[in-house]
Amino acid sequence: MLPWLQVLGDGEIHSLEEIREVIAEQFHLAEDDKNELLPSGKQSVFHNRVACEGTYLRKALLVERVERARFRITSRGRKVLASNPGKTDKQFPEFVEFH
C-alpha cells in the first residue's frame, strides 16, 4: 500500500494507469512480470494487485477516488505517509470492517 501513497503524496490527482506505471518502475518490473495473467487469463496479476491495493486504501480512508480510475490522497493518507509506516492496513477500523 505504501507505493500507492508515495505516488499520491504530492496531493495531485493521478490516474490508475499512472500509478501502475510508477509502481512498475519503482519495482523494476519487466514486461513479462507486468503481463503475467491470473489463472482466469482475463487480467494481469500486477493490474489486479494494484487495483486491490487501491480498494484497500480507499476503505481505510487514505485515498479517495475523485472520478473513475483517478485518485487523490486524503489528509489521513498524508499523515500516514509522513509517519513512514511499515504497514497501513489493519490499524484502521474502516478497513478491518471491510476486510
Handedness of CA 67, 71, 75, 76 (dihedral sign): positive
Residue 36 domain boundaries: 2-98
Residue 89 has pLDDT above 60, yes or no: no
**How many domains would you assign to the chain?**
1
Q: What is the pLDDT of residues 36-66, one digit of tens each?
A: 999 999 999 999 999 999 999 999 999 999 9
Nearest to 97 by CA among 52, 64, 60: 60
- CATH number for the domain including 84? 1.10.10
This prediction's pTM:
0.83
